[in-house]
Structure 1
């Protein structure tokens, strides 16, 4: 049966389920009475949807509240144990895998280090090693928590680079800075046999997964539009214009900030990442005469740079001040292009540099940006910490779960391709181009 708007009754029922689930998830516990005005659904629709969700174990009672002169109203909430998700962060020096219940309570975690080859940094991202780490990490967290694979809503994976979706091999990663050229990561993970075929993998850019986490649960919550900046070994960003919709990953780190400038990891000259990424920042400190700890990883070296600057070491101060100006100039481009309500900085390096450094970035951003949008943007730090990418990765299958009304995605059945079912313009243009 098809509704007058073109949507089927099944579509409408799914949308109603999605609306109730989202409201309970983000604003619950709530009573049936409160769900009506909060969702815009009739009391009858709310009762029907809640009855379905409760029968499926997705919603449970969570106490009661007094009502004005009537019987106490039963509160409802999402059942934490009704599903689980795994989030994976393929980071600069390690792969982190975490298992969460439906309310994002961590059930288990593990980390697998990625060996760093100073001569050839992309070597740390050898595809077979990363796939093996994800496979073994999934098995470990499931075993630790005693969770059957069939209970998973899915596995989300945050990776560096551009992720292309929709092809026959699933998600394909184009990670120029890490030496990945059209890596069919989804197919490779599926081929490990770590999970049943019914459990989906959702793969996306790490800045986008971080942005999704901050938008839903962190400093971006309530924003109408926001840009999320990830500063780690490299630099990336995500722009979001819909509080519930997916953000869009930006290769912001490869914006040219200096013509014929420093060589970036991507091979180009003058990229923002070549000046503001942690790897480049430590290298610039060394080139300027600084003394990063011998053999230290990037996090330790960056901490040493920050300590030296706090002690008023002139070389360290100069490097950080220049870096703040480059980042501020890059942020000004985000302000001018997207005119967001908020810009939030995250990533382990961005958070490690902290508020004092961010004050300088704010000043430079406002100096370089147009006055009108610059006066209306708030620039701050993310609040979910360096693990926001992992949390955001776990949200990917959760978002799909919501979009399908609390049910696993089912293959779409295509409508007939018979001529009588096609739009008139399609037939007309096909006949026109045939001559």
Structure 2
């Protein structure tokens, strides 16, 4: 049956299930009585939906609360073991794979370092090696947690670069800074990883998965709009205009901040990433005479730079070279934040990523000062700039949210083949009339 606005009874049931599941997920446990006003559904609709979800094992009873003069009200909550998700972060120094239950409790994790004998950064992202890391990691997690692959709602993967889709290959990654030229990552994973065809892959930009995690569970909660910045070896961002919906990945790091400026990893010149990414920041420190620890990786080298600029010992003189490079970097980032404010006028800007977390609040205060100089006064006065709160694992959590969000959107049901519904009689009679 189709309603006047084009939605079928099946659509309405799915929407009701989605409303109840999401409310229980974020605010539960709750009673059926409380779910009515919280979802806007009638008491009858709530009772029917909760009965279905209980029968399917998606929700469970969780004690009771006293009511005003009546019988105690039974609380219900989402059942943690009713589904599982895998989140993967194809990062700049490692591939991190985590297995979660439906409530995003971590059950197992695996990490694989990304190293290369060659100094060329593209060699670190050899596609075959990364696919093998994901294959081994997924198998390891399922064994460790004793979770059958058939119980997975999906595998979410955050990657560097732009993600497009084709009918033939699914998700295709265009990563100019990593040397990925139209890599059919979804097809390669389907061919290599031992998972049932019924388990979907959700592959998206890493900054976008970070944004999803912060909006659902972190510093973005309660905001109507936000820009979430991923600051690592390079920089990226995600703009969110619907707190519960997917954001939009921005190649913010490749915004030109200096015409004919420093050469960027992408091959262009003057990109923000060529000045403000951790890789570029450390290169500029070396060029200015700084001395990162020999043979240290980027994370260790950045820690050393910050220790030199901001010594823990109050009697020690700060490294003037490190301080000057950080100050210049703060100005470039402030200009970049100003552009984000002028373009999107967000309610919040949040900083995450391993380098952003290392630089921390102290550095961010300097960035804020420059942001005020480069942004238009009216939107700048209405944006809060702060740190993300989910730590270095936020991309992995956000990746796991991708299949979870789809599961909710389908009312807590797994993907099924589309069933063709019989069309109303008028569609054929009117077409016959117009064809005369």
- Measured against the shorter chain, the TM-score band is over 0.9
Q: What is the distance in 2 between the residues matched to 1:224 and 1:63? A: 34
Please tell me whether the aligned partners of residues 400 and 409 of structure 1 are also in contact (alpha carbons under 8 angstroms).
no
TM-superposition CA deviations, 1:166-224 (whole Å, max 9, x none): 43210000000000000000010011142000000100000000000000000001100
Q: What is the distance in 1 between the residues matched to 2:82 and 2:250? A: 34
Q: What is the distance in 2 between the residues matched to 1:410 and 1:255? A: 41
Q: What is the distance in 1 between the residues matched to 2:135 and 2:218? A: 29
Residue matched to 2:345 = 339
Residue matched to 2:314 = none
User: How far apart are 1:117 and its partner, in Å?
Assistant: 4.5
* Structure 1: segments with no counterpart, 5+ residues: 429-435
User: How far apart are 1:93 and its partner, in Å?
Assistant: 1.1
Q: What is the distance in 2 between the residues matched to 1:7 and 1:104? A: 32
Residue 404 (structure 1) aligned to one of 407, 410, 435: 410
Residue 374 (structure 2) aligned to one of 353, 358, 368: 368
Q: What is the distance in 1 between the residues matched to 2:43 and 2:421? A: 34
Residue matched to 1:81 = 81
TM-superposition CA deviations, 1:358-407 (whole Å, max 9, x none): 00111111110000000000000000001100000000000010000000
Residue matched to 2:54 = 54
* Structure 2: segments with no counterpart, 5+ residues: 312-317
User: How far apart are 1:154 and its partner, in Å?
Assistant: 0.4
Q: What is the distance in 2 between the residues matched to 1:277 and 1:117? A: 22
Give the count of matched residue pairs.
424
TM-superposition CA deviations, 1:12-44 (whole Å, max 9, x none): 000100000000001111100000000000000
Q: What is the distance in 2 between the residues matched to 1:298 and 1:414? A: 54
RMSD: 1.7
Residue matched to 2:133 = 133
TM-score by length of 1: 0.95
User: How far apart are 1:50 and its partner, in Å?
Assistant: 0.3
Q: What is the distance in 2 between the residues matched to 1:414 and 1:288? A: 66
Q: What is the distance in 2 between the residues matched to 1:193 and 1:291? A: 43
User: How far apart are 1:411 and its partner, in Å?
Assistant: 3.3
**Range that drifts further, 132-141 or 112-121:** 112-121
Residue 323 (structure 2) aligned to one of 317, 331, 334: 317
TM-superposition CA deviations, 1:109-150 (whole Å, max 9, x none): 000111134521110000000000001000000000011101
Residue matched to 1:432 = none
Residue matched to 1:207 = 207
**Range that drifts further, 199-208 or 64-73:** 64-73
User: How far apart are 1:410 and its partner, in Å?
Assistant: 2.2
Q: What is the distance in 1 between the residues matched to 2:388 and 2:126? A: 30
Is 1:349 paired with 2:355? Answer: yes
Aligned pairs (5 A) from 1:25-424: 25-117=25-117, 119-311=119-311, 312-413=318-419
Q: What is the distance in 1 between the residues matched to 2:214 and 2:116? A: 29
Q: What is the distance in 1 between the residues matched to 2:104 and 2:27? A: 15
TM-superposition CA deviations, 1:86-118 (whole Å, max 9, x none): 000000111000000001100000001111345
Please tell me whether the aligned partners of residues 339 and 377 of structure 1 are also in contact (alpha carbons under 8 angstroms).
yes
- 2:115 match: secondary structure: coil
**Range that drifts further, 198-207 or 158-167:** 158-167
Please tell me whether the aligned partners of residues 93 and 116 of structure 1 are also in contact (alpha carbons under 8 angstroms).
no
Please tell me whether the aligned partners of residues 24 and 30 of structure 1 are also in contact (alpha carbons under 8 angstroms).
yes
Q: What is the distance in 2 between the residues matched to 1:220 and 1:181? A: 33
Alpha carbons of structure 1 residues 117 and 285: separation in structure 2 relative to 1, 3 Å = farther
Please tell me whether the aligned partners of residues 57 and 82 of structure 1 are also in contact (alpha carbons under 8 angstroms).
yes
Please tell me whether the aligned partners of residues 16 and 405 of structure 1 are also in contact (alpha carbons under 8 angstroms).
yes
User: How far apart are 1:63 and its partner, in Å?
Assistant: 0.9
**Range that drifts further, 299-308 or 160-169:** 160-169
TM-score by length of 2: 0.95
Alpha carbons of structure 1 residues 414 and 129: separation in structure 2 relative to 1, 3 Å = farther
Residue matched to 1:431 = none
Q: What is the distance in 1 between the residues matched to 2:322 and 2:309? A: 5
